[in-house]
Amino acid sequence: MRILYDLPIRTKFAVVLVPLIVIIICFDYIQIKHNYLDYDDSQRLNKTILLGVEINHAVHELQKERSISVGFLTNDGEDFSQALLHQRHVTDSTLERFYEELDRLDLKGIFAIHANDVELLNSNFSTINSIRQKVDRRVLDPIQILEYFSDIDEVALNTVDQLINETRDKDIAQQVHALIYFLKAKERASIERAIGTHAFSLSEIDDETYSSFTALVAEQEAYTDAFLIIADEASKGVYNNLVTGHDVNEVDRLRSVLHLRDNFNQDPGYWYEMTTSKINALKRVEDSISQRLLSRTEYLARTAFQKFWTFIVLDIIIGILAMWLMSIIVTNLLANVKILERFTIRISKGDLSKKVFIATKDEIGQYAKTFNVMVDEIVKSHNILRKERDKAKFLYNNIYRVSLVVFQNIHQGIFLLDRNFKMSKLYSKSMEKIFGLSKISGENFANFMRPLIIPRDLEALEMFMRHLFNEDMDEDVVNQLNPIEQVKIYSETDGIVTTKYIRVNFTRIWRRDRIANIMVTVSDETESVLLQKHLEDAEKKKKQETEQVLSILKIDPSLIRGFLYNAKRTLKGISERYEANKDRDLKALLDFTFETIHNLKGNAVVIGLDIMSEKFHEVEEAIESLKLKEVTGKDFLTILYEIDDADKMIDEMSSMLRKVADIYRKYPSGGHVVSNIMLIDNLERSVKLLSDKMDKPVDFFFKNESNLVLPNEHIDAFRDIMIQLIRNSVKHGIEDRETRTSLGKLIRGTISIELDQPKDQRFEICYMDDGRGLDVIRVKQRAVQSGILTEFEAEKLTHDQVINLIYEKGFSTATEVDENAGRGRGMNLVKTLIEEMNGTFTTTFEEGKYFKLIINLPISGIVEDQSKEHETTDS
């Protein structure tokens, strides 16, 4: 089975079709042979019957001659001599006809089979002449003659029997047998005629002849009966029609006479005549049967012949048709298979240039289409691959040229390092631009970088490159330690030294298990680094400004204004002292500067102006660093620079403060009530801030706040006055916890501000604390110490005059100058501000109990303003 599966398609077809064709041909051969045999059989039978008919004619004539010869011998040759001569002539002519027929018919085939029979017949026929001579010489008795002739007839009839007794057709065989029976019966009838002729001629019959006669008659009757049984209806009909009538009845009557053996006076001629008539009738029946057999066999031969040829023609047609169909299918199918085969072979050899074309729409046609689609796809992919390959090939072939082009145009610096840290001859054009050089190559990279970077980085770079080329070291680990990942370099272009920031990255290039080169990329990041710095600066400045604004908004403007005014003056004092250069002692000058700045810082802290306190802290730091070493005059430049910076900042704050104040002025929000609340809130916060700072708990009361009606431009002044008074009270007036406890006072101090109902365009403000009041003696001492007046003058001062001392410029009771008080400006500022507003004030106190200041301010401006506002609203 497996072998069948593996056969080529053509062989498979052959295996299926060839046996089929062989079977058809075999079947046809059998059919043709059968028909040919039928034809041959009928043909042969036809010929043998023709020959048999001639033999029968001869037998018929011989039978007559026999009877006549017997009659001639019995009558001593008188009656029958004429008849005998005539009969012999007839017999000879029939024999001649037989021989003619034997020659005429092509009986080679038949003759081969029946040669012996025909030979025997011929030898018997040739004895006829010797028998006749014996008859003429009368040497034989009639019975012997009868026997001679009967023997010849027997042989002849047997020959006929042999000749025709072989046929394949059943019907014909039956009729042939009927004919044979009939011939035998006729022969018996003929012998009967001869014996009867003999007996009637002698008018007696001996016993031997009689017994043979009766046997003969019985045989004749039996053969006739047998004939009638097997003969067909046509033969029977012919027999019944012909063998009847007077002559036949006469033969029966004469036969019964012979049977009786008593009355022989009958004319033998009459017997002969009657029997001959009957035998002639029998002969005609025989001829009829023979004729029908002949026509029958002829018909059969013709039919078989026709069938034979029909089958041959059919065979040829079927064969041609089969061959034609097969050739169409096979050629079509196999041709297509062959085309596909050739096509696939071509593809397997790599030739994809052509397509396969199969016109049929069967499976093979579909395969061909699919094949074409596949081939198209393959060709497409092939083309893509080829293009890629060509590109790769081109790149490979032109890699040097391409790299040159790339290196000319790329914005990064690129070059390779070998294991000796030598820079490659091939490098990108940008290298020259970045490093400001016209030629770079072959140099050791560390040497190349030596003039550009600081020694520490250079040392690191050398170590770094060593580790980069160490295959055992992880590339990422090493790259984390790249010392020139971002580095500042100094390069010279056209004689001008410029600073640049460059980024240098290193990538290993492996060849097998070894690092062959390091690819170095250099990019100029100067612009982005500078931009970054610029952005950071801008950010810082913006933050500073925001803080300035915020701190201004947060803090009482009068406090800031006071602080800024004070700070500016103090800083100016420092500068003036430097310019005067009267201090030879630089160390003392430095200490003085530090203390002054330190105090300013403290003041900034108290009012919550963080940005300024930070700035002063920076100045302090700068001075601090100088304190540690030997100071030179040059060092003061740095301090002056810092102080100048702080001065600038103060100016900025002042201008911003003005801007904020302008905004408040332009857009007054909610009139007095709101500004009052803000004012009181400010004062409360100042009290809180100072009392926390001094660790003196103080309660603050602001009474009758609704009576506060001041022109807007005076609000600030009013606030400044109050804040100065509060600072003075917390710092100097209110005692610390221990002192208050020992004096029996409440630990919590009290500051109150009370406003009177305005009257006569003025209103009164009563400021009071429950502190120690004024120590008259101490005030006098401080005034002398401050250089305001002499000791002598002090002795003569009245109580009120002493009080006025505290409002003098430069007076301060504080023993130490600190950030909260002690600058000798406090009460003088109060006096100045009140006077600026055309106000008056009265100071009262009780030592150890209280300090009280009653301020009387004019409010005329306010009324005017208000009436103006009303007018505007009315109109």
Partner 1 sequence: MRLLIVDDSSIMRRIIEKNLKDYDIEIIGMAPDGASAVKIVKEEKPDVVTLDITMPGMDGLACLDEIMLMHPKCKVMIITALSDKLTGLRALDKGARGFLYKPVNADDLAKAFDRLLKRNENKQSGV
- Residues forming a β-bridge with 508: 518
> CB 466 → partner 1: shortest distance, Å?
8
> CB 720 → partner 1: shortest distance, Å?
51
Work out which of 242, 312, 473, 776 binds partner 1, going by CB under 8 A: 473
User: Which stretch, 399-407, 442-450, 464-472, 800-808, contacts partner 1 (CB under 8 A)?
Assistant: 464-472
Work out which of 463, 516, 588, 777 binds partner 1, going by CB under 8 A: 463
Q: Side by side, which strands form the sheet with 496-511?
A: 423-427, 413-417, 514-524, 496-511, 486-493
Q: Which is nearer to partner 1, 513 or 695 (CB)?
A: 513
Work out which of 141, 204, 341, 474 binds partner 1, going by CB under 8 A: 474
Instruction: Report d(CA 310, CA 303) in Å as an integer.
Output: 10
Instruction: Report d(CA 430, CA 448) in Å as an integer.
Output: 16
Work out which of 58, 185, 478, 794 binds partner 1, going by CB under 8 A: 478
Tell me which residues in 400-459 interact with partner 1 (CB under 8 A). Answer: 456-457, 459
Work out which of 98, 239, 271, 464 binds partner 1, going by CB under 8 A: 464
> CB 504 → partner 1: shortest distance, Å?
12
Which candidate, 128, 109, 126, places its Cα nearest to that of 51? Answer: 109
> CB 454 → partner 1: shortest distance, Å?
11
Q: Which is nearer to partner 1, 14 or 481 (CB)?
A: 481
Give the angle 412-416-422 at the CA atoms, nearest 5°: 125
Q: Which is nearer to partner 1, 483 or 773 (CB)?
A: 483
The position carrying tokens 């790299």 is 403
Residue 515 sits in the site that holds partner 1 (CB under 8 A): no
Amino acid identity for residue 21 in this structure: I
- Residues forming a β-bridge with 853: 767, 843
> CB 542 → partner 1: shortest distance, Å?
28
Q: Which is nearer to partner 1, 161 or 457 (CB)?
A: 457
Q: Which is nearer to partner 1, 464 or 616 (CB)?
A: 464
What number of other Cβ atoms are within 10 A of residue 258's Cβ?
Answer: 22
Q: Which is nearer to partner 1, 445 or 464 (CB)?
A: 464
> CB 457 → partner 1: shortest distance, Å?
8
* Structural contact between residues 523 and 415, judged by C-beta atoms closer than 8 angstroms: no
Q: Which is nearer to partner 1, 115 or 463 (CB)?
A: 463
The position carrying tokens 């103060």 is 650
Work out which of 126, 263, 480, 815 binds partner 1, going by CB under 8 A: 480
- Residues forming a β-bridge with 737: none
Q: How many residues in the shown chain lie near partner 1 by CB under 8 A?
A: 17
> CB 455 → partner 1: shortest distance, Å?
10
User: Which stretch, 460-468, 551-559, 569-577, 671-679, contacts partner 1 (CB under 8 A)?
Assistant: 460-468
Residue 511 sits in the site that holds partner 1 (CB under 8 A): no
Work out which of 477, 580, 628, 663 binds partner 1, going by CB under 8 A: 477
Distances (CA, A) of 822 to 544, 776, 856: 30, 18, 27
User: What angle do the packed helices 557-580 and 526-554 form, to 10 degrees?
Assistant: 120
Amino acid identity for residue 216 in this structure: L
> CB 402 → partner 1: shortest distance, Å?
34
What number of other Cβ atoms are within 10 A of residue 629's Cβ?
Answer: 8
> CB 450 → partner 1: shortest distance, Å?
16
Range 209-230 burial, b when 16+ CB lie within 10 A, else e = bbebbeebbebbeebbebbbeb
The position carrying tokens 């026999």 is 66
Burial class (CB in 10 A: 0-12, 13-18, 19+), 588: exposed
Distances (CA, A) of 11 to 3, 323, 325: 11, 17, 18
Instruction: Report d(CA 819, CA 829) in Å as an integer.
Output: 16
Q: Which is nearer to partner 1, 482 or 750 (CB)?
A: 482
Binding mask 580-599 for partner 1 (x = CB under 8 A): --------------------
User: Which stretch, 144-152, 225-233, 468-476, 569-577, contacts partner 1 (CB under 8 A)?
Assistant: 468-476
> CB 451 → partner 1: shortest distance, Å?
19
Residue 467 sits in the site that holds partner 1 (CB under 8 A): yes
Contacts of 294 (CB under 8 A, 6+ apart): 46, 49, 50, 53
Q: Which is nearer to partner 1, 106 or 476 (CB)?
A: 476
Q: Which is nearer to partner 1, 98 or 464 (CB)?
A: 464
> CB 467 → partner 1: shortest distance, Å?
5
Instruction: Report d(CA 79, CA 28) in Å as an integer.
Output: 68
Q: Which is nearer to partner 1, 469 or 702 (CB)?
A: 469
Distance of CA 619 to the CA centre of its chain: 73
Tell me which residues in 483-502 interact with partner 1 (CB under 8 A). Answer: 483
Phi-psi region of 161 (alpha: psi -120 to 50; beta: other; left: phi over 0): alpha
Work out which of 303, 372, 412, 482 binds partner 1, going by CB under 8 A: 482
Distance of CA 426 to the CA centre of its chain: 44
Q: Which is nearer to partner 1, 28 or 475 (CB)?
A: 475
Burial class (CB in 10 A: 0-12, 13-18, 19+), 792: exposed
Q: Which is nearer to partner 1, 112 or 477 (CB)?
A: 477
- Residues forming a β-bridge with 857: 763
- Binding residues (CB under 8 A) for partner 1: these are 456-457, 459-460, 463-464, 467, 472-474, 476-478, 480-483
